[in-house]
Structure 1
Amino acid sequence: MSGRELTLIQAINAGLREAMRRDERVMLLGEDIGKNGGVFRATEGLLEEFGEDRVVDTPLAESGILGTSLGLAANGMRPVPEIQFMAFIYPGFEQVVSHIARIRMRSRGRYTAPLVVRVPYGGRNRAPELHSDSTETFFAHTPGLVVVSPSRPYDGKGLLLSAIESEDPVIFLEPMRLYRAYREEVPDDYYTVPLGRAEVVRAGHDVTLISWGSTMRDALKAAEQAEQEHGWSVEVIDLRTLSPWDEETVFASVIRTGRAVIAHEAFGHLGLGAELAARIGEECILDLEAPVARVASYDVPAPLFQLEDWYAPDAGRIVEGIHKVMTF
């Protein structure tokens, strides 16, 4: 299978193109996604190839974008709406949690909502207020939604294609910090990465480190640092799908290592890491050598430029979390 070295944003673009070529029901909606190719250029070139009936520039109205997408999905289309930044989805939150997530249950299976909401998220991009939120827990807490966050170009394309194939609504969270951070080989052909499966991206035997999205880069650096400085062997898991998350892979790793650290950019209070820690405690308590540690952002709104790097967990703070469980 031939491939190219792509960034994450290029892989997203390639995935959208492949899906639209394969299935004429797939269409895109969003602000500035047509003529401008999207604020991050995720949809660049797609208007020219597929036309304005399938790449639709919408008004600045998130509730309208999401409500329209639900109507399209319930009537046989496969819409992929884009919300420019995570904090911009809040005006459309009611459409997501009250209608998109519930339509299958409410209609007793007569209608489904096979749509994918693409949402750039996360901070450390030197952006203004309301451009750096990481509130994935809102959606992971909502029954009826699948929540996905790729951390590498290969997964970006493969998970997006799986999401578009899904009969369930998917919130597809794209870490802006990684959009152009690095390249890796991405197959040119159509392929999928299964939803609901985590990936062990680094094998180890002393402690399990679980992360997702942009914090995966920091987690991998922390694992290397912990091994170089202390000799600790760190197994790193990329959760990839946040809801439903892959309990089998996580539990098997924690049972093997006896220790767990969870690192994420979202707030620590009631973050997804709290749910992971609780489930690990319930299922792996007899195998744990130390309490589960969480490393997260502080419980304040994402700050502006000079405090961004202090606010979010970096490799150093994650190493501190590893040290905490290793020396318990």
Structure 2
Amino acid sequence: MTTRTYLLALNDALRHEMERDPDVFILGEDVGQFGGCFGVTQGLFEQFGEARVKDTPITESAIIGAATGAAAAGLRPVCEIMFVDFIGVCLDQLFNQAAKMRYMFGGKAKIPMVLRAPQGAGIGAAAQHSQSLEAWFLHVPGLKVAMPATPADAKGLLISAIRDDNPVIFLEHKLLYGIEGEVPDEAVAIPFGQAVVRREGQDATIVATSKMVHTALEAAETLAADDIQVEVVDPRTISPLDMDTIIASVKKTHGLVIAHEAVKTGGVGAEIAAQVAERAFDYLDAPIVRIGAPFTPVPFSVPLEQAYIPSAATIVDAVRQLRS
């Protein structure tokens, strides 16, 4: 194990898989000599060359179209969309082609491609470069969706994504790139669909995704000072979604708060809440509480942006509301 940043853990995963499998290649805007907009692909162009680390024109439809075709032909492309906000440019290639080809060919076609995309607010990038759009992809059969919250998960889940024979949307929160954690030196794949309990407790369950996992853990520390012990569950992937771990936690704690940075309306939290209500309603001592951003574009103003992003204090208040 080595202490690495989230960003370098992603870089490690890409390097491991490109060394292991010559069919793996990278494409996207500025992923070559520049090393990627946020630096995730740094050094890979120098090691693997232009044939396997390919800069593309500024056209997301071409990036995803080329990746889909390459995957169908037997390669394993890892494409980068510079900001998830630009995903609308290539929705047809993604939703109608990549996500459906294996089904429409009766399983004979494989589409082993990964779409990496930074998302999330907090860097002052305003309304067109700060959104969290994971719920869009959750709604489309044929896509898998990963949202790693730690450096170790970033590496392990990306390895699994590259080895998967289905298209994977791999969402990286921009504010997580600099966090540090212990990461295996070897290529240890983390299976999709296996949530992890980040903190054990018995007084309430908090299910949180991506950067909000760290916010939930901060809230848990505040609550512990008042002898309220919450359990924090990180799904890690939202498609497939490990509801069994979430249900088991709710049956143990009898209360549920769901926190994500995406807007609350129509978010992943609504799906989790619905499934808990269907499968564990009798175990709840209070209504489920969902925490998300307000239904508004992400503000550019720093104070407004900070007010927009759900805080640890909001989660603390929600848990206290459950227990009142």
| Structure 2 unaligned blocks of 5 or more | none
Counterpart of 1:49 (choices 47, 50, 61) is 47
Name the CA distance, whole Å, in 2 between partners of 1:167 and 1:231.
Answer: 46
The residue that corresponds to 2:269 in the other structure is 273
Amino acid at match of 2:108: R
How many angstroms does 1:305 deviate by?
Answer: 3.3
The residue that corresponds to 1:213 in the other structure is 210
1:88-237 equivalence runs, <5 A: 88-180=86-178, 182-228=179-225, 230-237=226-233
Amino acid at match of 1:268: K
**How many residues end up aligned between the 2 structures?**
323
Name the CA distance, whole Å, in 1 between partners of 2:286 and 2:315.
Answer: 16
In the superposition, the TM-score normalised over structure 2's length comes to: 0.98
Tell me whether 1:308 sits opposite 2:308 in the alignment.
Answer: no
* Per-residue CA distance 1:271-304 (angstroms, 9 max, x = gap): 1100100100110011110111001100011111
Name the CA distance, whole Å, in 1 between partners of 2:301 and 2:214.
Answer: 20
How many angstroms does 1:128 deviate by?
Answer: 3.7
SS at the partner of 2:280?
A: helix
* Per-residue CA distance 1:176-226 (angstroms, 9 max, x = gap): 11110x211212111111111100010000100000111111110011111
Name the CA distance, whole Å, in 1 between partners of 2:217 and 2:61.
Answer: 37
How many angstroms does 1:126 deviate by?
Answer: 1.7
How many angstroms does 1:152 deviate by?
Answer: 0.5
* Per-residue CA distance 1:95-153 (angstroms, 9 max, x = gap): 11111110111112221211010010101112243111101000011111000000010
The residue that corresponds to 1:24 in the other structure is 22
Amino acid at match of 2:192: L
Counterpart of 2:293 (choices 273, 297, 319) is 297
SS at the partner of 1:225?
A: helix
How many angstroms does 1:89 deviate by?
Answer: 1.3
* Per-residue CA distance 1:15-58 (angstroms, 9 max, x = gap): 00000000000000000000100011100000111010100000
SS at the partner of 2:186?
A: coil
Name the CA distance, whole Å, in 2 between partners of 1:317 and 1:304.
Answer: 21
Name the CA distance, whole Å, in 1 between partners of 2:290 and 2:322.
Answer: 10
In the superposition, the TM-score normalised over structure 1's length comes to: 0.97
Name the CA distance, whole Å, in 2 between partners of 1:301 and 1:320.
Answer: 24
How many angstroms does 1:310 deviate by?
Answer: 0.3
| Contact 2:126-2:298 within 8 A present in 1 as well | no
| Structure 1 unaligned blocks of 5 or more | none
| Contact 1:73-1:79 within 8 A present in 2 as well | yes
Name the CA distance, whole Å, in 2 between partners of 1:243 and 1:19.
Answer: 22
Amino acid at match of 1:87: D
Which segment drifts farther, 301-310 or 199-208?
Answer: 301-310
Name the CA distance, whole Å, in 2 between partners of 1:52 and 1:268.
Answer: 42
Amino acid at match of 1:168: N
| Contact 1:127-1:305 within 8 A present in 2 as well | no
What stretches of structure 1 move > 6 A for 4+ residues in a row? none
| Contact 2:145-2:171 within 8 A present in 1 as well | yes
The residue that corresponds to 2:65 in the other structure is 67
The residue that corresponds to 1:256 in the other structure is 252
Name the CA distance, whole Å, in 1 between partners of 2:180 and 2:55.
Answer: 29
| Contact 1:127-1:304 within 8 A present in 2 as well | yes
SS at the partner of 1:29?
A: strand
